[in-house]
Amino acid sequence: MNIHSLQAVPARLAQVRAVMAREHLDAYIVLSSDPHLSEYPPARWQSRAFLSGFTGSAGTLIVTNDFAGVWVDSRYWTQAETQLAGSGAARMKITAQSAVPYLDWLLAHIPAGGTIGVDGGVLSLACAHTLLDACNARDIALRPIDLLEIDPALWPDRPPLPINPVFEHTLPYAGAPRADKLARIRAAMREHGADWHFLSTLDDIAWLLNMRGADIPYNPVFIAHALIGPESATLFVAPGKMPAPLAESLAAHGVRLAPYEQAGDALARLPTGAALLLDPRRTAWAFARRIPEQARIIEAVNPSTLEKSRKTASEAAHIRMAMEQDGAALCAFFAWFEQALGSHILTELSIDEQLTAARARQPDFISPSFATIAAFNANGAMPHYQASAASHARICGDGILLIDSGGHYSGGTTDITRVAPVGAPSAAQKRDFTLVLKGVIALSRARFPNRIRAPMLDALARAPLWAEGMDYGHGTGHGVGYCLNVHEGPQAISYRADARPETAMEEGMVTSIEPGIYRPGQWGVRIENLVLNRRVQSAEEGDKERVFLEFETLTLCPIDTRCIERDLLRADEMDWLNAYHAMVRRRLAPRLSGAARAWLEERTRAI
């Protein structure tokens, strides 16, 4: 059964309603997550995409007896409108930041005494708290139930669990030995007054145990849970995934293996009086329901979330090397692209193929870090556009091509967006490009107090656009993993995000800067660099020493000056761009020769 088959969606929704009727449900919530609350779940848990036909990475399906809708944010409005047409499910726009954007609609449409069902195995404990409080106040029951589990006929050929083998992320790339990381987590547990810690998030587990996998496309992680005790730990992972030498190494560090399905049972067997640390935003409600009543639950952010976000000096050095390899690959690609524009038939699919091939020639390359976005003209107006064999554009005529791509290397993860001119860009396109560039420069040059909450920096990048009455619907920056997920917390540069204490900017964090302008049906512009928080100065302020941070730009690839409206750039902004290009040329030139070297020299000329 094809997950993308639009014709099958109405029948699937009818089947869901039939099961809902048997279970006496007035509404059913279908989320986009998995038991690990992953941003990109494996195929087995892509139930929202399967049941609705909408394939974007974020969205929530609500089904009632007489309605179905998919709630999506502005990144997916166009895609959802197209994919849901004729499906029997409506596109529902999320227009404001909310922890549960569909909650008000549910409360308005489900009567008192009604019942809402949701798979508690893929719903975070934090979200469950919010839903339960709201439902209880309206005399509505929230029932944890997995319709796909109780009636397998809803998805008869549901994909199985991934079975890809796990491999070790070795030193020196790993940054610190496994024993050191375990000791740091146990120290954090003691600070919280906990003797046990349950961990479900895949990138946290991979970082903690210095292991990587290939269970989720573009994310070098593996499906597992972990329960860390005072002196030992248990890794719950499917049999056969762990090579014997790696299992022996884990055992030497006090980590035993157990079947993946036994994680909930282990929680249920916690000793009387146990104090368990878990992250309510990163732990599924179903696991929390297994914890004995006599155990004490301590809700706090996973200690590993902050630990892995603060890259060490050794890791930062490896990231710089990865950026040089990535930059060299991009130079080779763009040299090919500019030559091919006049001699080959190019499509958006050609871009992905050639760019991935250029990266694959680099010695430490592992895989792409996400599906390449290559979007020409109107397609660039969809921030998460994805070309396919059935729907893609030919690159010809005049306009601009937006390319958002990245790679995993042994020593880091990259994420970069560049816009290339095709033919002659219009004056309006150049103006948009330059306004976005001004936003990149403004934030890149910022200095700010250590531990400022990341969302508070967002206005710096948006100010040039706001001055022109424009804005964009996505965040300006996200954390980036170290040979791990390209999106990681805890920091996020977005005024729509909660400025919680754990979002504080600290030394060593790697974050993207990526403002944009999107004109539906016309074009899109986004420029993205990755930056590293580094200490810049200390100043005496009364009796306190205040530490300031600044950004070191990590990404190494020219920003195409042919797209710039120079009259819109101030002299200091031109100085920043020229200095950036001088650094790119100095760092990349030794790695290049021939056409790629010539392209670099041309595209980094001072303006």
Interval 441-459: pLDDT, tens? 999 999 999 999 999 999 9
Confidence at residue 7, expressed as pLDDT on a 0 to 100 scale: 63
Q: Sorting pLDDT into bands at 50, 70 and 90, what band is 278?
A: very high
Which of 574, 556, 560 lies closest to 326 in space, CA to CA? 556
Q: Sorting pLDDT into bands at 50, 70 and 90, what band is 543?
A: very low
Q: CATH topology of 6-154 equal to that of 310-603?
A: no
**pLDDT value at 290 more than 80:** yes
Angle between helices 594-603 and 313-340 (to 10 degrees): 100
313 DSSP 8-state letter: H
Compute the mean pLDDT over every residue in the chain, rounded to the nearest whole number.
94
Q: Which helix (H) or strand (E) holds 582?
A: helix 571-588
Confidence at residue 276, expressed as pLDDT on a 0 to 100 scale: 98
Q: Sorting pLDDT into bands at 50, 70 and 90, what band is 57?
A: confident
Distance CA 199, CA 208 (A): 10
- Mean per-residue pLDDT, 268-279: 95
Tally the C-alpha atoms within 13 A of residue 70's C-alpha that lie toward its C-beta.
34
400 DSSP 8-state letter: E
Could you tell me the pTM of the whole model?
Answer: 0.91
Distance CA 303, CA 283 (A): 13
pLDDT in tens, 299-322: 999 999 999 999 999 999 999 999
Cα dist from 33 to 48, 283, 436, whole Å: 9, 11, 32
Q: Sorting pLDDT into bands at 50, 70 and 90, what band is 481?
A: very high
Question: Of 294-303, 322-331, 342-351, 363-372, which range is least confident?
Answer: 342-351
Confidence at residue 5, expressed as pLDDT on a 0 to 100 scale: 56
* Tokens, residue 119: 């798979």
Give first-to-last CA distance, the chain, whole Å: 55
Contacts from 85-89 at CB under 8 Å and sequence distance 24+? 86/6, 87/6, 87/9, 87/10, 87/13, 87/52, 87/53, 88/9, 88/10, 88/13, 89/9, 89/13, 89/52, 89/53, 89/54, 89/61
- Mean per-residue pLDDT, 203-224: 96
Kindly report the CATH number that applies to the domain delimited by 310-603: 3.90.230.10
CA angle 210, 285, 46 (to 5 degrees): 70
* Tokens, residue 285: 């409600």
Which of 157, 204, 198, 195 lies closest to 286 in space, CA to CA? 198
| Contact predicate 455/492, CB 8 Å | yes
Q: Sorting pLDDT into bands at 50, 70 and 90, what band is 3?
A: very low
Confidence at residue 447, expressed as pLDDT on a 0 to 100 scale: 96
Q: Sorting pLDDT into bands at 50, 70 and 90, what band is 191?
A: very high
* Tokens, residue 266: 């282990």
pLDDT in tens, 109-157: 999 999 999 999 999 999 999 999 999 999 999 999 999 999 999 999 9
Question: Of 5-9, 128-132, 338-342, which range is least confident?
Answer: 5-9
Neighbour-count burial for 323-346, b at 16+ CB within 10 Å, e otherwise? bbbbbbbbbbbbbbbbeebeeeeb
Distance CA 294, CA 82 (A): 51
Superfamily the domain 167-307 falls into: Creatinase/prolidase N-terminal domain (3.40.350.10)
**pLDDT value at 1 more than 50:** no
Which of 329, 472, 496 lies closest to 414 in space, CA to CA? 329
3-class SS of residue 43: helix
Q: Sorting pLDDT into bands at 50, 70 and 90, what band is 557?
A: very high
CA angle 99, 101, 106 (to 5 degrees): 120
Q: Which helix (H) or strand (E) holds 594?
A: helix 594-603
3-class SS of residue 366: strand
Distance CA 470, CA 46 (A): 34
Kindly report the CATH number that applies to the domain delimited by 6-154: 3.40.350.10
Work out the percent of the chain whose per-residue pLDDT is above 70: 97
In the chain, what are the domain boundaries? Answer: 6-154, 167-307, 310-603
